[in-house]
Amino acid sequence: MATASGAPPPAMDEKARRTRDLLASFYNTDPSAAAGAGAASPASLARPSPTAAPASPLDSINSTSFDPETYMNVLVQQSNLEGLLQRHVKMAAEIKNLDTDLQMLVYENYNKFISATDTIKRMKTNIVGMEANMEQLLSKITSVQSKSDTVNTSLFDKRENIEKLHRTRNLLRKVQFIYDLPTRLNKCIKTEAYADAVRFFTGAKPIFEAYGDTSFQDCKKASEEAMDLVIQHLQAKLYSDSEPIEARAEAVVLLKKLNFPVDNLKSNLLEKLEDCLLNLQNESTQASIGDISKTFRAYLIIFPDSERRLIELAQALFSNRYETVRGNLKKRIPSTDLLAMLRSLWEDASAIDEVIPEAALPAFSLETTRDMIGQHIATAFLHLQSEISDALVKTHSTSKEKLEESQLQNAMDTSKIRVSQGCIDLLQEFHHLIDGNTELLLKLRDLIIDWVQEGFQDFFQKLDRHFHVLSGRSKSFPQESSALDSVQIDKVPTVLVLMLAQLCVYIEQTTIPKVTEELASSFSGGGARSYEYGPPFVPGEICRLYRSSGEKFLHHYINMKTQKISKLLNKRFTTPVWIKHKEPREVNMFVDLLLLELNGVVSEVKQILPGLIRRHRHSDSTGSTTSSRSNPMREDMLNRSNTNRARSQFLENHLAKLFEQKMEIFTKVEYTQESVISTVLKLCLKSLQEFVRLQTFNRSGFQQIQLDMEFLKSSLKEFVDDEAPISFLLKEVNNAAHERCLDPIPLEPPILDKLINAKLAKIKEQNLNMQ
180: closest CA among 223, 230, 227? 223
pLDDT band at 512; cut points 50, 70, 90: very high
752, 707 Cβ separation under 8 angstroms: yes
**Which of 27-41, 273-287, 658-672 has the lowest average pLDDT?**
27-41
Overall average pLDDT of the 321-332 stretch: 83
pLDDT band at 649; cut points 50, 70, 90: low
Are 514 and 551 in a shared domain?
A: yes
**Which of 109-118, 491-500, 662-671, 695-704 has the lowest average pLDDT?**
662-671
pLDDT of residue 231 exceeding 90, the answer is: no
Are 550 and 580 in a shared domain?
A: no
Averaged pLDDT of the chain: 77
State the CB neighbour count (10 A cutoff) for residue 231. 17
Q: pLDDT: is 481 or 386 the higher one? A: 386
300, 326 Cβ separation under 8 angstroms: no
Are 717 and 757 in a shared domain?
A: yes
Q: What is the pLDDT of residue 572?
A: 82
Radius of gyration of the chain (CA): 60
Distance CA(436)–CA(706), nearest Å, equals: 77
Q: Which residues contact 414 (CB under 8 A, 6 or more apart)?
A: 391
Q: pLDDT: is 338 or 50 the higher one? A: 338
Distance CA(157)–CA(554), nearest Å, equals: 127
Q: What is the pLDDT of residue 648?
A: 53
pLDDT band at 528; cut points 50, 70, 90: low
Are 756 and 691 in a shared domain?
A: yes
Q: Give 172-222 pLDDT, tens digit per residue.
A: 887 888 888 888 888 888 888 888 888 888 888 888 777 767 777 888 888
Overall average pLDDT of the 39-66 stretch: 53
Structural domain includes residue 319: no
Tell me how far apart the terminal alpha carbons of the chain are, to the nearest angstrom: 140
DSSP class of residue 582 equals: P
Distance CA(770)–CA(42), nearest Å, equals: 149
Are 380 and 508 in a shared domain?
A: yes
One-letter amino acid for residue 582 of the chain = K
**Which of 110-119, 170-179, 181-190, 470-479 has the lowest average pLDDT?**
470-479
Overall average pLDDT of the 361-372 stretch: 88
Q: Give 274-299 pLDDT, tens digit per residue.
A: 666 665 554 544 446 776 777 777 77
Structural domain includes residue 245: no
The full DSSP string for 729-759 is HHHHHHHHHHHTBSS--PPPHHHHHHHHHHH
Which residue segment(s) compose the domain that 548 sits in?
A: 368-474+491-556
Overall average pLDDT of the 675-698 stretch: 90
449: closest CA among 518, 511, 539, 364? 518
b/e burial code for range 421-456 (CB count within 10 A of at least 16 → b): ebbeebbebbeebbeeeeebbeebbebbbbbbbbbb
Distance CA(118)–CA(123), nearest Å, equals: 9
390, 419 Cβ separation under 8 angstroms: no
Overall average pLDDT of the 358-374 stretch: 88
Q: What is the pLDDT of residue 482?
A: 45
pLDDT of residue 581 exceeding 80, the answer is: yes
Q: What is the pLDDT of residue 343?
A: 85
**Which of 188-202, 365-379, 509-523, 626-640 has the lowest average pLDDT?**
626-640
Q: What is the pLDDT of residue 698?
A: 92
**Which of 73-87, 242-256, 656-670, 749-763 has the lowest average pLDDT?**
656-670
Distance CA(255)–CA(339), nearest Å, equals: 46
Query: Is residue 741 helix, strand or coil?
Result: strand
Q: pLDDT: is 738 or 306 the higher one? A: 738
**Which of 602-611, 655-664, 751-760 has the lowest average pLDDT?**
655-664
Are 393 and 541 in a shared domain?
A: yes
Structural domain includes residue 167: no
Are 537 and 446 in a shared domain?
A: yes
Structural domain includes residue 200: no
721, 659 Cβ separation under 8 angstroms: no
Q: What is the pLDDT of residue 249?
A: 72
pLDDT of residue 370 exceeding 50, the answer is: yes
One-letter amino acid for residue 388 of the chain = I
Q: Give 146-179 pLDDT, tens digit per residue.
A: 888 888 888 877 888 888 888 888 878 878 888 8
Are 513 and 601 in a shared domain?
A: no
pLDDT of residue 7 exceeding 50, the answer is: no
Distance CA(170)–CA(177), nearest Å, equals: 10
Distance CA(373)–CA(338), nearest Å, equals: 8
Q: What is the pLDDT of residue 263?
A: 65
Structural domain includes residue 287: no
Are 549 and 664 in a shared domain?
A: no
C-alpha distances out from residue 177 to 204, 223, 673, Å: 8, 12, 111
Are 410 and 526 in a shared domain?
A: yes
**Which of 436-445, 642-651, 686-695 has the lowest average pLDDT?**
642-651
Q: What is the pLDDT of residue 401?
A: 45
Residue 382 exposed, middle or buried by CB count within 10 Å (0-12, 13-18, 19+): middle
Q: pLDDT: is 74 or 655 the higher one? A: 74
Are 465 and 513 in a shared domain?
A: yes
Distance CA(45)–CA(42), nearest Å, equals: 5
Q: What is the pLDDT of residue 631?
A: 41
pLDDT of residue 364 exceeding 80, the answer is: yes
Overall average pLDDT of the 286-314 stretch: 71
Are 663 and 754 in a shared domain?
A: yes
737, 697 Cβ separation under 8 angstroms: yes
Structural domain includes residue 459: yes
Q: What is the pLDDT of residue 491?
A: 72
Structural domain includes residue 388: yes
pLDDT band at 39; cut points 50, 70, 90: very low
**Which of 19-23, 414-418, 747-751 has the lowest average pLDDT?**
19-23
pLDDT of residue 266 exceeding 50, the answer is: yes
Number of domains the chain contains: 2
Q: What is the pLDDT of residue 264?
A: 63
467, 550 Cβ separation under 8 angstroms: no
Distance CA(189)–CA(184), nearest Å, equals: 9
702: closest CA among 712, 694, 692? 692
Structural domain includes residue 171: no
pLDDT band at 626; cut points 50, 70, 90: very low
pLDDT band at 544; cut points 50, 70, 90: very high
Q: Which long-range contacts (CB under 8 A, 24 or more apart) does 277-280 make?
A: 277/313, 277/316, 277/317, 280/317
Q: Which residues contact 329 (CB under 8 A, 6 or more apart)?
A: 338, 372, 375, 376, 379
Q: What is the pLDDT of residue 623?
A: 36
